[in-house]
Chains A and B, each alone.
Chain A
Amino acid sequence: MWEHLSLDLLAHVFSFLPPDSVARAMAACKHWFDCARSRSPPSRQPHWLVALPARAARGRPSCYAHDPALNRWHVLPLDLFPCPLRLVAPVGSSLLCKLAASSDLRLVLLNPFTRQFRNLPDLTMPRRNPAVGIVVRGVDATSDSSSSFSVIVAGGASGSCYEPTVEMYDTGPGGWSLVGPMPVEFAVRLTVWTPNESVHALDGAMYWMTSARAYSVMGFDLGRRAWREVKAPMADRLEWAALVRRPSGKLGLVGGDGDGQGAVWELIEEDKWVAVGRVPAELGRRFWGRSKSAATRCVGGEEAVYLFRDLGSEMLVWSESSSSQIKKNKEGEETWEWRLVQGRCCMPNIPIKAALLHPTLSRSSFPASL
């Protein structure tokens, strides 16, 4: 009877399993294999941290995936793709990457778990190091599908000049189209200092942060096609910082100074930030006591914020505490807590760029064409 359990029901059971368990379950019988391959109901599992090397690395190209429940890193071979890739941003359950060898931006969509990949068409004009942002539509509605999204590309260098325009790729029509001009000053700053991290916030704007000190945030209102600059909180003292999307859908900023302090702010008005979380002093001392805070990397999403240094290094995680879940349901307020996650010294000590996503082994969530 188990072989014949309806696909819907079985897929629902699978949605409560971490991807490694699903991968094993797939090998049980053909019916289960087909189910895991073809169905992708929204995952009921916590996000995994998925990372690619940030610079050229020795050994065979790999993708690294961290299981938060077991604090275990998995190594997924990337030999399916012929050239080295750098991670740009997560798109649903897939990764938007760029070709490391190409100076002009060339994008590839990749799901390291299903070993699917697809090249995006070339941009309307060549751009070196532009800012890239993603708008994903309808992810949380019915599935973790990455089939409907837009890519916004702003600035970048072209020849010996900066390219003061914005262009957009949309999976609907497919292909790139020019959105319009942008202030040259913004194009320069996004090209020279962009960390390529973006947040599409509920207010309809795409935000990037330029890494030049003092940090500042550039916002592009997608509806009105207008640019604005938002001052970062504590801008002159931040040693490291990154943008995250808050559970409220608002823009969040995670950052810290050189003295072992770290905090999370939320943008509540035009130019006004409020602190919504601070790294407890004791944890901060332990985490930053051993190395320079400027080496801190950060990735965050609506369910967690991760601070780390390299692959396999100790991580400082801010997420909803498991004990508070019941309380949250009753009182309706979120209770997040900071915790240190032990490092894994068996991993190669290399710099990484990471993203948070729900891994899927379903091939159906990957776009059939781009």
Chain B
Amino acid sequence: MSTESKEILVGESSQAKPEKKTIVLMASDGDEFVVDVDDITNQSEMIRNLISDMGGTDGLQVPLLNVTAPVLAKLLELFNVSNKNDDDEEVTQKVKELMEAELNMMIDVLGAANYIEATSFFDLSCKVLADKFKGMSVEEVREFLNIECDFTEEELQQIHAENAWAFD
């Protein structure tokens, strides 16, 4: 009798405190990242849908063909900041810092976030970028992003003339 009730108790307690479920994300170069299911489904719609289509998370490995290991590591680091904070202030700050320090990495992270449909993080990052060049002149935008102007002088004049109101 006593052993039976003990077993039930154990069963109950393991139900109340389940071990954290994880899945594995595989970067394009084969590196594996073990991530908490709640943390990643909180961010990525693609993975959320995948888990529901597969009917569970057991031994799930998700290959991310377009995402290299350093980019995935950075993305997961930012997700972590986002998951830990109720408001977006902290993660916005981190994305800003990344933009200022490693612009190309930020673009790759943006692409990866778009790819795994991390909608709110993607929106937030796009807004950080947009805010950066909101007040910039076109020359400043080109310089900041290292864009080469491939318009002829004539074409440029035409564009300016059509949108003169935005340049005054």
Inter-subunit contact B87/A2 (CB<8 Å): no
Segment among A5-13, A48-56, A128-136, A164-172 that sits at the interface with chain B: A5-13
For residue B135, which residues in chain A have a CB less than 8 angstroms away from its CB? Answer: 21
Contacting pair B127 A29 (CB below 8 A): no
The answer to whether A76 and B165 have CB atoms under 8 Å apart is yes
Q: Are B160 and A27 in contact (CB under 8 A)?
A: yes
Please indicate the chain A residues that have their CB under 8 angstroms from the CB of B107 in the complex. 1-2, 5
Residues of chain A contacted by B141 (CB below 8 angstroms): 24-25, 28
Closest residue to B137 on the A side, CB-wise?
Answer: A24
**Contact between B162 and A3 (Cβ–Cβ < 8 Å)?**
no
Measured CA separation A6–B167 after assembly (Å): 26
Is residue B114 within 8 Å, beta carbon to beta carbon, of the partner chain? yes
With a cutoff of 8 Å between Cβ atoms, the chain A residues found around residue B126 in the complex are 9, 12-13, 15-16
Q: How large is the interface on A (under 10, 10 to 19, 20 to 34, 35 or more residues)?
A: 35 or more
| B-contact 0/1 string along A21-65, CB 8 Å cutoff | 101111111101100000000001000000000000000000001
The DSSP consensus for interface residues of chain B is helix
User: Please, how many angstroms separate the alpha-carbon atoms of A2 and B149 in the complex?
Assistant: 12
B129 contacts partner chain A, Cβ-Cβ < 8 Å: yes
A229 to chain B, nearest CB (A): 43
B150 touching A29 by the CB < 8 A rule?
A: yes
User: Is the CB–CB distance between A1 and B166 below 8 Å?
Assistant: no
Q: What B residues does A32 contact at CB under 8 A?
A: 147
Q: Give the contact-size bracket for chain B.
A: 35 or more
Bitwise interface map of B from 129 to 155 toward A, beta carbon under 8 Å scored 1, else 0? 111011111100110011111110000
Q: Is the CB of A24 within 8 A of B167?
A: yes
Q: B104 on the interface (CB 8 Å rule)?
A: yes
B residues 47-98 in Cβ contact with A at 8 Å = 87
- A24 touches which one: B145, B150, B166 (CB < 8 A)? B166
Known: A9-B111, A16-B126. Contact between A30 and B151, CB under 8 A?
A: yes
Known: A16-B126, A74-B165. A28 touches B134 (CB 8 A): no
Encoded as 1 (CB less than 8 Å from any A CB) or 0, chain B from 100 to 116 comes to 00001001001100100
CB distance from B121 to the nearest CB of A (A): 13
A176 an interface residue at 8 Å Cβ cutoff? no
Query: A334 on the interface (CB 8 Å rule)?
Result: no
A115 proximal to B (CB < 8 A): yes
Say yes or no: A16 contacts B156, CB within 8 Å. no
Assuming the contacts A9-B114, A23-B163, asked whether A17 and B147 have C-beta atoms less than 8 A apart, the reply is no
- Chain B interface residues toward A at CB < 8 A: 87, 104, 107, 110-111, 114, 122-123, 126-127, 129-131, 133-138, 141-142, 145-151, 156, 159-160, 162-167
Q: Which 6 A-B pairs have the closest CB atoms?
A: A23-B166, A16-B130, A20-B166, A23-B163, A2-B145, A27-B138
